[in-house]
Structure 1
Amino acid sequence: MSDPSAYIFDTAAVLHNRARAETYGNDHTFLKQEISDRLHDRLHDITRPFQSVLDIGGDFARFSGMPATTLSISDTPLPTSDNQFDLVISNLVMHWVNDLPGLLIQLNRALKPDGLMMAAMFGGETLKELRHSLLAAESELTGGAHGRVIPFADVKTLGSLLQRAGFALPVTDMDTLTVTYEHPLKLLADLRGMGEANALLDRPKNFMRRDVLSRALEIYSRDYAQSDGRVPATFQIIYLTGWHPHESQQKPAKRGSGQVSLAAALKAGAPPQK
């Protein structure tokens, strides 16, 4: 597990934001519903039954209707046993985990041999328009800037973390969704309703100055508004898939086991010479 002194998220604030979002009902859950559907579609491509399922975050089970044990992610060890589940799945919550390498190791241990871990989380391009607008406005009006949109991991880093956690056959891929809004304030309301309000440990503890927020909204509209006046918000979704190792799984070929040299392959594929 990583050093807690290096943590960047306020776990209590993360849990508070999620609990508050639950009181808003389903008015802001369209994105989690969409990604839950996409995860469900991916599971349909795997021709095996999953008898014991662990839902990390709770959203997938709620939206998909799949029976599962649900747990809320925190920075404490998961209350699970080794080799307990056929499937571990997570829908748009793992980007708030301080010790993501440690969590992935725990999830791998919780899986039975040849069990599957599948997760979706926000990637590095998420909310790039909002990040730019807030930084530009605060820098312009106060001479400095605070982190108001959290950092998101990129696909290469997450792929490496899957390997380090001991998953077999690790795969990462991504989608980019663009949601358009009548006004940037609508985006802020959705983020609050999804439980995605700022929970950085070093976040400003006072409300953003009204003039800074107003200027950020102006910059957002100025720099990103489409011809119809609506503004886009980018959500990059990274999917992580890995299996608990099992002897039946496909293994990569040993180094040097190829029967055709690279030079011969290149020569074979070259156009004929005149």
Structure 2
Amino acid sequence: MNIFDRNAKRLQKERAALSADVGLYDYLKEEVGFRLADRVFDIKREFKTAADIGCNRGFISRHILAECVEHLTLTDTSATMLEQAQGTPGLQMHKQLQDEEQLDFEENSLDLIISSLSLHWVNDLPGCFARIKRSLKPDGVFIASLFGGDTLYELRSSLQLAELERKGGIAPHVSPFTQIRDIGSLLNRAGFTMLTIDTDELIIGYPSMFELMWDLKGMAENNAAFNRPAHLSRETMLAASAIYKELYGKPNEEGIPATFQIIYLVGWKPGPNQPQPLPRGTAEVSLKDLGTIFEKGGKIKLDQDT
């Protein structure tokens, strides 16, 4: 079952990219792209071939150095955003229009696949992960970020309370996000190993709820679910703004906070040179004896069964 309207999301991205002040709304994606690129640098390896899927306006490529990645392929559904993406000096880049839901790379062709704040709009995330793994070479790595389930919880609850009060029911005005507890199982299901998953929270202040919603539109992060309502009444908007300020605004301070939960993930395609666990039953001591071993300064091999 499809949740998101991919064509609507493509049009939203096109409209945002064609705006004269599009750069004003880069602050969040720029910060997350920088943090994700830093995780690529932490891997002490030179990647010959890499791909940035759902690259937006190049929030990762503008931080990737040629000394780290030799050739980077940028993909996105928005032709205008793809055109605006730039790289660092010396970085070889190739751009192609491609949907994250229909990746078309050759099998075992890439050393690295990266994606920043794009995969939360994918309907078939397990299928997307499987295609990413298929495209990677053995011992290739997948590094990505996406919005987590706690993102914009203040806005979501304020709109729901306002609609309950005014309309007697609620509509989905904020798109659903993936929960962190699901990411690990989806990556395991796709066949990735040596997983690393962590979260970060960015809390950004806005004068009011209206500026937040305006910025979300400028980022092309407005709602793209199929069941999104076509209209939100002025009365409900004003009520939601007052509720937002009352519930989440700090006393004696102007403005309101908005929380963005970022999930970072790293997964490796199995390869012959990766570290392997020792066979079960080959340990020399039990976990209950750790204290004694450490006191004597000894070296141990643990039994996985314990």
Whether the TM-score (by the shorter chain) exceeds 0.5 is: yes
Counterpart secondary structure, 1:20: helix
Instruction: Report how far residue 7 of structure 1 moved.
Output: 1.4
Query: 1:199 & 1:173 partners in 2: Cα distance?
Result: 26
Supply the RMSD in Å over aligned alpha carbons.
Answer: 1.9
Counterpart secondary structure, 1:130: helix
Name the count of aligned residue pairs.
264
> Which consecutive residues of structure 2, in runs of 5 or more, have no partner in the other structure?
66-70, 78-98, 296-306
The corresponding residue for 1:3 is none
Q: Equivalent of 1:224, from 240, 248, 255? A: 248
The corresponding residue for 1:189 is 214
Query: 1:223 & 1:61 partners in 2: Cα distance?
Result: 35
The corresponding residue for 1:27 is 24
Verify the 8 A CA contact 1:134 1:216 in the aligned structure 2.
yes
Instruction: Report how far residue 148 of structure 1 moved.
Output: 1.0
> Which consecutive residues of structure 1, in runs of 5 or more, have no partner in the other structure?
1-5
Verify the 8 A CA contact 2:101 2:124 in the aligned structure 1.
no
* Matching residue's letter, 2:46: P
Counterpart secondary structure, 1:239: strand
Verify the 8 A CA contact 1:84 1:111 in the aligned structure 2.
yes
How do 1:43-54 and structure 2 match up within 5 A?
A: 43-54=40-51
Percent identical among aligned pairs is 41
Deviations 1:33-53 (A, max 9, x none): 001110111111111111211
Query: 2:245 & 2:281 partners in 1: Cα distance?
Result: 56
* Matching residue's letter, 2:72: A
Counterpart secondary structure, 1:63: coil
Deviations 1:79-111 (A, max 9, x none): 211011111000101000000000001011111
Verify the 8 A CA contact 1:33 1:63 in the aligned structure 2.
no
Q: Give the stretch that moved more between structures: 189-198 or 15-24.
A: 15-24
* Matching residue's letter, 2:235: D
The corresponding residue for 1:100 is 125
How do 1:1-274 and structure 2 match up within 5 A?
A: 6-24=1-19, 25-58=22-55, 59-64=58-63, 68-72=72-76, 74=99, 76-204=101-229, 206-226=230-250, 227-265=252-290
TM-score, normalised on structure 2? Answer: 0.81
Highest RCO, 1 vs 2 (Cα 8 Å, sep ≥ 6): 1
